[in-house]
Amino acid sequence: MTLRSKSGLLALALLLAMTTVEAKTFRMALGDAQGGTQWELGTKFAELFNAKTGGKHKIRLYANGQLGSEQDTVNDAAIGTLDFSVLAINNITPFSPSVGVLTLPYVIQSLDDAVKLTRGEVGKELVENTIRDAGVRIVGWAYSGFRVLTNSKRPVKTLDDLQGMVIRVPKNEIMIATYQAWGVNPTPMAWAETFAALQQGVVDGQDNPYITNHAMKFYEVQKYITNIRYIFSLEPLIISEAVFQDQKTEVQKAILEAGQEATLHSVAYINATEASIKQDLAAKGMEISDPANDENEWIEKATTAVWPKYYDSIGGKAKLDQVLKLLGR
């Protein structure tokens, strides 16, 4: 073998070694089970990211809270021990309170509203705030639809119907305050404990979007659905800012581009699937109804009691006014 041949083989071996070292399988935590919008966003992002990095980098998804509660994953990402997480937006707000503007009851009233806020100037500002406050970067969004109330006791059409029920809510101040405004003292509970609590009768009901109720098989332990539509459920895809900054420029670019494209995919996915999922829940025996009087009583009590409490945490009343103006209200 000539010296040139040996040098060529050595260079090839070094190149392969460098490629092997640099290749990485990132971990992504999901709070929900397979079949929901978190899984759809995560799998689409993983597919796009793999393609944009020429197949070098991969992402392994861990569904159904395998890597801890959703709030735990924010902590883990903040210190760089977890790469990615997809989680309900209400589990970001304890770490970055200004994000709570998107979880105030009845602010978002359509999918178009949700897309306009998350993909516009408001969304860009919230990305910067979460980097500053929580050490994580939002790189994509899943749109899961409006949270609807489910319970195992009786149809709920008025606030009077709700009284006396034990309702599970996330450990989120805004959501707790909303139920209190409706005259109910809700039970804050970790997501991983919710199905068993419903099954055992520890709590009577909970609220989540249609697609989440379906993916988590809540139809097995719940009978009634009420379209209270008080919060539009957003599921941000976050990456540890430390992990993001540790990547080469081209990998950062692939992450951001995959996040944007996966977000657009999520819009199409909820549009294509929500109606059929609602029909399937009805076919499985769930009874679906709307609040009486077009939600007026629910809306008035929630907005007048809850909004003023959180002006300071979201950046002031002017911030909410800005959001409402952007939405044409």
pLDDT band at 120; cut points 50, 70, 90: very high
Considering Cα of 297, then 299, then 305, then 308, what sign does the dihedral take? Answer: negative
Of 19-23, 194-198, 294-298, the poorest mean pLDDT is in 19-23
Nearest CA to 26 out of 62, 66, 54 is that of 62
Nearest in space to 84 (alpha carbons), one of 265, 244, 306, 266: 244
Query: What's the whole-number average pLDDT of the chain?
Result: 93
Whether residue 33 is predicted with pLDDT greater than 90 in this model: the reply is no
Q: How far apart are CA 149 and CA 218, in angstroms?
A: 11
Q: Is-contact 150 213, C-beta < 8 A?
A: yes
Q: Which two structure tokens, joined as six digits, stand for 171?
A: 């450990």
Is the C-alpha dihedral spanning 180, 184, 185, 187 positive or negative?
Answer: negative
| Residues 28 and 46 sit within 8 Å (Cβ to Cβ) | yes
DSSP character at residue 150: E
Q: What percent of the chain has pLDDT over 70?
A: 93
Phi, psi dihedrals of residue 138, rounded to the nearest 5°: -80, 120
Per-residue pLDDT of 177-196, as tens digits, reads 999 999 999 999 999 899 99
- Side chain identity at 191, as an amino acid letter? W
pLDDT in tens, 67-77: 999 999 999 99
Q: Which domains does the chain have, with CATH numbers?
A: 23-143+234-273 (3.40.190.170), 148-231+280-326 (3.40.190.170)
pTM over 0.75, yes/no: yes
Least confident among 20-24, 33-37, 272-276: 20-24
- Per the CB < 8 A criterion, the answer to whether 89 and 31 are in contact is no
| Model pLDDT, residue 305 | 97
Containing H/E element for 24? none
Q: Helix, strand or coil for residue 159? A: helix
- pLDDT tens across 154-169, in order? 999 999 999 999 999 9
Which amino acid, one-letter code, is at 270? I
